[in-house]
Amino acid sequence: GFVADREEAAARVERLLQYQFNKRSLLEEALTHQSFAAASYQRLEFVGDAALGLAFSNFLYLTNPTVGPGVLSTLRAANISTEKLARVAVRHDLYPLLRRNCPRLDLLVGQFIQSVKQELEDDLGTTPYGGTVFKAPKVLADIVEAIAAAVYVDCNFNLEKLWKVTRFLFEPIVTAETIDEQPVSTLHELCQKHGKDVKFKTWQKGGTVVVNVFVGGALVGMGSSEQMVIAKLNATRDALSKLLGGGNQQVLTTGVGHGLGVEVGELRECKQKLIEQCSRKHWPKPIFKLEKEEGLAHDRTFVYSVQVETQGGIWVTLSDKMSRVKDAENSGAQKMLEHLLKLARRACAGDVGRHHGCLAEHNCPAGI
Q: Where are the domains of the chain?
A: 6-174, 182-243, 270-349
Question: Which of 51-60, 128-137, 230-239, 312-321 has the weakest average pLDDT?
Answer: 128-137
Per-residue pLDDT for 146 more than 60? yes
What span, in angstroms and rounded, lies between the C-alpha atoms of 210 and 243?
20
For the stretch 60-105, pLDDT in tens is: 999 999 989 988 887 898 889 888 899 899 999 999 999 999 998 9
Per-residue pLDDT for 279 more than 80? yes
For the stretch 29-56, pLDDT in tens is: 999 999 999 899 999 999 999 999 999 9
Same fold for the domain at 182-243 and the one at 270-349?
A: yes
- Binned at pLDDT 50, 70 and 90, residue 363 comes out as very low
Averaged pLDDT score across all residues of the chain: 81
Superfamily, domain 6-174: Ribonuclease III domain (1.10.1520.10)
What span, in angstroms and rounded, lies between the C-alpha atoms of 144 and 89?
6
Q: What pLDDT, on the 0 to 100 scale, is given for residue 97?
A: 97
- Binned at pLDDT 50, 70 and 90, residue 226 comes out as confident
Per-residue pLDDT for 14 more than 90? yes
Bond from prior residue into 172 cis (ω within 30 degrees of 0)? yes
Work out the average pLDDT over 357-367: 43
Pick the CATH number of 182-243 from 3.30.2350.10, 1.10.3720.10, 3.30.160.20, 3.30.420.40: 3.30.160.20
* Exposed e or buried b per residue across 238-263, where buried means at least 16 C-beta atoms within 10 angstroms of its C-beta: bbbbbbeeeebeebbeebbbeeeebb
Q: How many CB atoms lie within 10 A of CB 351?
A: 14
- Binned at pLDDT 50, 70 and 90, residue 365 comes out as very low
Pick the CATH number of 270-349 from 3.40.50.720, 3.40.605.10, 3.30.160.20, 3.90.1300.10: 3.30.160.20
Q: What pLDDT, on the 0 to 100 scale, is given for residue 254?
A: 58
User: Mean pLDDT highest for which of 136-140, 216-220, 299-303?
Assistant: 136-140
**Single pTM value for the model:** 0.57
